[in-house]
Amino acid sequence: MTTSATAFPLGAATTLAELTVNPHPRLALLRAREPVSWLPELNGWLVTRRDLALDVMRDAVTFTVDDPRFSTAQVVGPSMLSLDGPEHARHREAFAAPFRPRRTHEGFAAFIEEETGRLLDALEPAGAAELRRDFAGPLAVAVVTEALGLVGTTPGTVLAWYDAIVQAVSDITAGKAAGPEGLTAYARLGQAVEETVAARGASSLLGSAAARLTGPEVASNAAVLMFGGIETVEAMLTNALLHLLDHPDQLALVRSDFDLLDGAVEESLRLEPGAAVVDRYATRDTALGPATVREGDLVTVSLAGANRDPAVFADPDRFDVRRANARLQLAFAHGPHYCIAAHLARLETRIALRALLERLPALRLERGRTLTPYGLVFRKPPALYARWDENRPTGDIAVSE
């Protein structure tokens, strides 16, 4: 395999730091000139063109997640996230029913509305807040806790387990040994899963899944749902808020017609997907666009790059809540590993945004404290400071991303 700077000069010059801080100019350059490029810092291929990204995600036989290097599986074991083929289908189907469109609305809409209202009741009198940690994060945790139905737990407990498990996965990804906290948290989650199955049986999501899966398999998938439901949904809601508040003209359109809210959510997902990349591993030598990928190679699909492909999205860097084809975005991935809870994530974000905009008509970014999305794998602003008091200072202008 030729992976020299001569063959892939743009990839050789691409740093992970650049992709963490402000990836979009570099992704655009790669997409135009090296749509499948070898990145030495990644020690793998980066795919940035949408059609090629679809080729990878659709073909789980050639590009698999089932590889010993998959860090999440090293902490929680095999799950729908790290399996392919019949085993993946068995794990996924055991959890799929509550997340189908009609069941999602029937099962979660009222809870999301109630929890959103409770959070806003607590925040509204202050006139200002940091909406990522004070609103988006707590809402995501509450909905995951409700979805899993774990007995004897609170959102705070679930969040503590989540933080420890994510830290263990991050350590392994960085080439470090995972600390004991992650394994302890996962063991406690497993115990709570067992207690829930015993207490609630088939009336709970976990109990229903236990009819098809072993106890450890139920626990591993519960951890995956917890991870996706907290990390990516918090990012999805925070990024959507930032895009709307940072584009007053688009915000005005949505306020005048809440039917445009769905478009706003899809556009935000397109411009800044909460999960910027997904990893696959080549099972055989194969041609991928202009590159020859070898068996065992890491192939990272840039969802952020594919979502701004000008061959599909005109003026791709513009936030346009009326964009007709915004739903072609790939923020939820594609193929067998399309996000199982995508309908729930959309419902949660839509309900929360509408409540914020209706209850807080003066909602705006706080002057001088606007932060842009950050992160290599998961992207969201470190914080989102906003105000809605009526004493609006002059010159309250957001810093565009």
Which residues have C-beta within 8 Å of that of residue 205, sequence separation ≥ 6? 95, 98, 147, 148, 149
- H helix intervals, 286-341: 303-306
Residue 386 has pLDDT above 90, yes or no: yes
Q: Which among 394, 385, 386, 391 has a CA at the least distance from the CA of 363?
A: 386
Which residues have C-beta within 8 Å of that of residue 114, sequence separation ≥ 6? none
What pLDDT score does 179 carry? 84
Which residue segments constitute the domains of the chain, with CATH numbers given?
A: 9-387 (1.10.630.10)
Residues 131-145 pLDDT 10s: 999 999 999 999 999
Residue 174 has pLDDT above 80, yes or no: no
What pLDDT score does 399 carry? 36
What pLDDT score does 391 carry? 65
What pLDDT score does 216 carry? 95
Q: Which among 153, 252, 247 has a CA at the least distance from the CA of 194?
A: 153
Judged by average pLDDT, the poorest of 48-62, 170-184, 195-209, 371-385 is 170-184
Mean pLDDT of 63-78: 93
Residues 312-353 pLDDT 10s: 999 999 999 999 999 999 999 999 999 999 999 999 999 999
Share of residues in the chain with pLDDT > 70 (%): 96
What pLDDT score does 178 carry? 83
Q: Which among 362, 39, 92 has a CA at the least distance from the CA of 224?
A: 92
Backbone angles phi, psi at 327, to 5 degrees: -70, -5
What pLDDT score does 231 carry? 92
Mean pLDDT of 9-38: 97
Contact 42, 48 (CB under 8 A): no
33: enclosing H helix or E strand: helix 24-33
